[in-house]
A = this chain, B = another copy of it.
Amino acid sequence: MKICHTLISGFNTMMILLTSNTIAFDRSIRRSLSMLHSGVSVMVNGMPGLMAQEVAKVCLDRGINLIDVGFTGPIDQQNLLINGKSSSKSIFLNQGPGINPNASLILRNLKEQYPDLIVVDYTHPTAILNNLKCYIENNVDFVMGTTGGDQSKMLEIFNKGSCSAVIAPNMAKQIVAVQSALAVISSKYPNSFSDYTLTVTESHQSSKADTSGTAKSIVADISKLIGKEYSFENIVKLRDYDNQIAFGVPQESLSGHAFHTYRLTSSDDSVTFELKHNVCGRRIYAEGTIDAVLFLDQVRKQTNNKRLYNMIDVLESGQMS
């Protein structure tokens, strides 16, 4: 398999050599193998995780150069075929920072080959800090979609470097836009729905034990509109088949969806406001991630001092799919 792989891809050969702890590394040979790519190139870390795979697919579908190597977790190095709508690409998955001593060297080499490299990170909470250090020390700009990291430690590491990044817990930019709208009116018009009662129902795949973070965030804003606290415990969580089907979740999306309904009803029942955002699968998050990549590629070329961005910045930039 290794020999076969070598024949297919000189670049991947290099990766295999590196991960085999090959110390001697002939920089001149490597340079002769590599080509300098112009325009943004994306390395997706976290495959074979499904979110990372979806991002890789969006790269293919939107004609963005997807680098054929990615960092993965403590699993055997392997090739993974990503099938886009009209093209496919084989990605060589290599253990990442923290578990692979050569990870930083791999990234440095990629940065040399692809000067406009941007990394997308959908890995694991336990990998975030090591990955971040690796990106920073190689001055590689990145989009971080992995959640669960220690925010203050992340910021501390980030501030030591000089690269730019989008770090956001929710890459679905349309949902972020809706959250932003609610934040605006709850701040401008508190108590404007003081006569109203809120009910919130969310449905996610049965493996999700906790309450939706997006629902909690939106409820916090609606609480200001109704002028009273709404306990997160009152959010109705649907995790069982019958209720999910009744709630409108398609059969084929039971294993991966995020459906939310917020309803405000006036005290005399004469008026109802309802907001729904129903997501099947992961595509919306992957599209938003690539929007963030393109935003970052655009904004880093401009001369401003800001380096850390979120999805509101992406939305405001008008860099849309």
Residues of A within 8 A of B (CB): 172-174, 177-178, 180-182, 184-185, 188-196, 225, 227, 264, 266, 268-281, 283-284, 287, 315-316, 318, 320-321
In the complex, how many angstroms separate the beta carbon of A239 from the nearest chain B beta carbon? 20
A188 and B284: CB pair below 8 A?
no
Q: Which of chain B's residues have a CB closer than 8 A to the CB of A188?
A: 180, 315-316
**Docked complex Cα distance between A191 and B315 (Å):** 9
Is the CB–CB distance between B279 and A271 below 8 Å? yes
Copies in the assembly, this chain: 2
Which residues of the partner chain B approach A273 to less than 8 Å between Cβ atoms?
Answer: 174, 178, 275-278
Contact present for B193 and A174 (CB under 8 Å): yes
Chain B residues within 8 Å of A174, by CB: 192-193, 196, 264, 271, 273
The answer to whether A177 and B192 have CB atoms under 8 Å apart is: yes
- Determine the residue in chain B with the shortest Cβ distance to A192: B177
In the complex, are the beta carbons of B274 and A275 less than 8 A apart? yes
CA distance A146 to B224 in the complex (A): 31
Say whether B191 contacts A318, CB under 8 Å: yes
CA distance A191 to B174 in the complex (A): 10
Contacts of A281 in B (CB 8 A): 270
Select from chain B the residue with minimum beta-carbon distance to A282: B270
Interchain nearest-CB distance for A41 vs B (Å): 24
* A278 vs B188: C-alpha distance when bound (angstroms): 23
Partner of A318, one of B178, B190, B269, B279: B190
Give the 8 A-B residue pairs with the shortest CB-CB distance, closest first: A274-B276, A181-B181, A191-B320, A189-B315, A181-B185, A270-B280, A272-B278, A271-B284
With the chains together, A284 CA to B196 CA distance in Å?
A: 11
